[in-house]
């Protein structure tokens, strides 16, 4: 298998559940040895796409290649290239950490010295060597997630897929999880693709695909997506935001939105524009918030809707 193949290539992928479109003509790719995030609100299409890539749903219409292998025609070969961590836990709480991993290894045909070697390496990659003989039932949510990742790493996958991996984790455990994912990419060259609805997680990725109502609405590095908005973000509080928004449009020929009870403005040199706003409408502005755009602003910019 050529080392210059992309980890993932998705072309014109669509999927329907009855009369509802879950994915609509989605196309993008992920480079090898990168961390790639599918970002979107619940119901945006992330999990459907995840299930297609992991061979659990059909690809037609569309095409999905994993390191050059077609998911539709080479499902067995594709499964051998990937490790998967689903959103729902898949550990036996009555077994120890190493017993869970050993059972999973048997499913991949691992035995004897080879299995022992893989167990040691997988536990080391997630720094769980000292918890190998602990019952899973005694572990915190963050440690259980690391056991799930160790399971997925046993067959040495080229592509590690994680569906909402931070579900149920506190902020500290989430940071630890991401530290481990970045370590895997650096030390093993593992390609990591995950789904999330958390903006701060997506911001740590190298590339992000933003899904909304089944459509790909934005694609790129977090920094590029934010930079492409083109300006600072100003939020203005008022007793009558609809009327104020209309007056700002007329007076400054400025595009504005009304979002969450605020007038929202994207503008270059936003800090300078604030003084003009306050001078123009001193009695109608209750407060002004100014900041640099975030991925949440990227979503709003492309969809016209707030993140929820």
| pLDDT, tens digit (0-9, with 9 covering 90-100), for 32-90 | 999 999 999 988 999 999 999 999 999 889 999 999 999 999 999 999 999 999 988 88
If one compares 231 and 243, the residue with the highest pLDDT of the two is 243
pLDDT at position 180, please? 84
Whether domain 33-42+76-225 has CATH 3.40.50.300: yes
pLDDT at position 308, please? 67
Tokens 């915190």: give the residue. Answer: 140
pTM here is 0.85
270-280 vs 241-252: helix crossing angle, rounded to 10: 110
Contacts 24+ apart (CB under 8 A), 240-246: 240/284, 244/281, 244/284, 244/285
Mean pLDDT, to the nearest integer, of 278-287? 96
Q: Which residues share a beta bridge with 237?
A: 262, 287
d(CA 204, CA 222): 8
Q: Does the pLDDT value for residue 146 go beyond 50?
A: yes
Q: Provide the CATH number for the domain formed by 231-292 in this structure.
A: 3.30.70.260
Q: What is the mean pLDDT of the chain?
A: 92
User: 241 to each of 66, 238, 251, 297, how far by Cα in Å?
Assistant: 49, 5, 15, 19
d(CA 182, CA 176): 10
pLDDT at position 166, please? 84
d(CA 36, CA 210): 11
d(CA 97, CA 154): 13
List, by residue range, all CATH 3.30.70.260 domains of the chain: 231-292
Backbone angles phi and psi of 205, in degrees to 5: -80, 165
Tokens 């504005």: give the residue. Answer: 256
List, by residue range, all CATH 3.40.50.300 domains of the chain: 33-42+76-225
- Structure tokens that stand for 84 in this block: 């998967």
d(CA 297, CA 307): 9
pLDDT at position 5, please? 83
| pLDDT interval class at 2 (50, 70, 90) | very low
How is residue 304 annotated by DSSP? S
Q: Does the pLDDT value for residue 1 go beyond 80?
A: no
d(CA 49, CA 214): 9
SS3 at position 220: strand
Residue 171: Cβ within 10 Å count: 9
| pLDDT interval class at 305 (50, 70, 90) | confident
Q: Which residues share a beta bridge with 202?
A: none
Mean pLDDT, to the nearest integer, of 20-24? 96
pLDDT at position 4, please? 65
Tokens 């039932």: give the residue. Answer: 137
pLDDT at position 165, please? 87
Q: Does the pLDDT value for residue 17 go beyond 90?
A: yes
pLDDT at position 170, please? 83
212 contacts 43 by C-beta, under 8 angstroms = no
34, 57, 7, 49: which is closest to 212 by C-alpha?
49
163 contacts 11 by C-beta, under 8 angstroms = no
SS3 at position 114: helix
């Amino acid at each position: 298998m050529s080392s210059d193949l992309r980890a993932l290539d998705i072309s014109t992928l669509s999927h329907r559940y009855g009369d509802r479109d879950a994915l609509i003509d989605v196309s993008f790719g992920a480079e090898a040895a990168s961390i790639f995030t599918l970002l979107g609100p619940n119901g945006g299409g992330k999990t459907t796409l995840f299930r297609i890539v992991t061979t659990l749903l059909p690809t037609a219409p569309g095409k999905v290649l994993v390191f050059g292998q077609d998911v539709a025609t080479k499902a067995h070969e594709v499964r051998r290239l990937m490790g998967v961590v689903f959103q729902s836990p898949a550990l036996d709480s009555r077994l120890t950490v190493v017993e869970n991993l050993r059972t999973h290894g048997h499913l991949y045909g691992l035995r004897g010295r080879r299995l022992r070697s893989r167990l040691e390496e997988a536990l080391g990659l997630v720094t769980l060597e000292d918890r190998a003989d602990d019952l899973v039932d005694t572990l915190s949510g963050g440690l259980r997630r690391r056991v799930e990742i160790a399971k997925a790493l046993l067959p040495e996958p080229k592509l590690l897929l994680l569906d909402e991996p931070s579900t149920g984790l506190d902020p500290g455990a989430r940071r630890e999880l991401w530290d481990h994912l970045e370590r895997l990419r650096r030390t093993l060259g593992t390609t990591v693709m995950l789904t999330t609805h958390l903006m701060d997680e997506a911001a740590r990725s190298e590339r992000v695909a933003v899904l909304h109502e089944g459509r790909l609405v934005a694609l790129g590095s977090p920094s590029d997506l934010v930079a492409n908005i083109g300006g600072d973000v100003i939020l203005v509080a008022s007793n009558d935001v609809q009327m104020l928004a209309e007056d700002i449009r007329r007076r400054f020929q400025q595009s504005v939105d009304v979002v969450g009870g605020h007038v929202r403005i994207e503008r270059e040199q936003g800090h300078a524009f604030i003084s003009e706003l306050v001078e123009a409408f001193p009695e109608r502005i209750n407060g002004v918030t100014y900041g640099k755009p975030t991925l949440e602003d990227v979503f709003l910019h492309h969809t016209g809707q707030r993140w929820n």
